[in-house]
Amino acid sequence: MATIIAHRGLDETHPENTLAAFKPALSKGMAIEIDVRGSKDEELIILHDPTVDRTTNGEGRVADLTLSEIKKLDAGSWWSNEFSGEKIPTLYETLDLVKDYGIAEINLVVEMKTLDPGCINKVCEGLEKRNLLNSTVGIGLIHQSVDVRRRFYEGSPNFQCATVANTAQELTGAIADPYSSWIYARYLMSKSDVEIVHGAGKKIIASGPGIMDNNAALIASAKAGADTLMAYHPESLCKMLNKTA
């Protein structure tokens, strides 16, 4: 069965991109998608937006804040009082959680939002130290640029990069990419598309507009043979997949 990827964790019931949202997703056998960006002092944290305004009680650009300043912020109260005091996690805190609770073949999808000095080595070394390279896929700035994929490959040839295919017409070029082992498919793939990708020795993340938020489309992707499903509604998707299994 395809692995469900909980986009920013279980963010329908928990504050997004927090350890509180990640732990239950991992415990249910899902992978998690996380957003990685650098602070002013070049520490890697997990946050989607370039500012802390939307999901914390603070203000300002992440790039202008030190890790110490970021760690003083409350990243849970905006969601509900139940999560008051929840902090923005660092990359390494998140990797420790994945190591402890991840049970799927693919546990982690890392979306790189920024490329700060030394970040590639930090990501690769952090994953290697925790034996997570084989269960992690990189997207974001990674899937957008062959040069970035090359740099991650140089950081570790075992780091799994994805390259994007927005349409079926882009699939041949995506498969030919020398630095990727995954296709980040942002359209509804047919069974024959999936067979072509698998025949080339690569795997698939089913995603994209009208798919991530559409459980019926994700179930169709699973039936076509996609390896993983990026979902906005992972828990309801899990129930639907179990009924169709």
- Residues with active-site annotation: 7, 48
H or E stretch at 192: helix 191-199
216, exposed or middle or buried, with CB in 10 Å at 0-12, 13-18, 19+?
exposed
For the chain, the C-alpha Rg in angstroms (whole number) is 17
Handedness of CA 168, 48, 63, 124 (dihedral sign): negative
Q: Among residues 99, 223, 222, which one has the least CA distance to residue 231?
A: 222
Q: Which residues pair with 108 in a beta bridge?
A: 32, 136
For 18, which DSSP code?
A: S
Q: Among residues 63, 142, 125, 51, which one has the least CA distance to residue 91?
A: 125
CB distance 213 to 12 below 8 Å: no
